[in-house]
Amino acid sequence: MAFSKYLYNKMPLIKDLHACFEVFLLNCKGWQWKVDKGLMEADLHSNQYKIYPQPDMPGCNCFFWMLLWLTLLKHVHYNGKLKPDDFVFPTISSNGVVHHGEHILHDAVQA
Over the chain (111 residues), what is each successive 10-residue block's mean pLDDT? 55 66 70 56 65 85 88 85 82 85 80 62
Q: How far apart are CA 25 and CA 89, in angstroms?
A: 11
Q: How far apart are CA 100 and CA 93, in angstroms?
A: 11
Give the pLDDT score at 16: 62
Domain boundaries, the chain: 2-110
HSE, CB side, 13 Å, CA atoms: give it for residue 62.
8
DSSP character at residue 94: T
pTM of the complete model: 0.64
Q: How far apart are CA 98 and CA 89, in angstroms?
A: 10
Taking 3-state DSSP, the helix, strand and coil percentages for the chain, each rounded to the nearest 5, stand at: 40, 15, 45
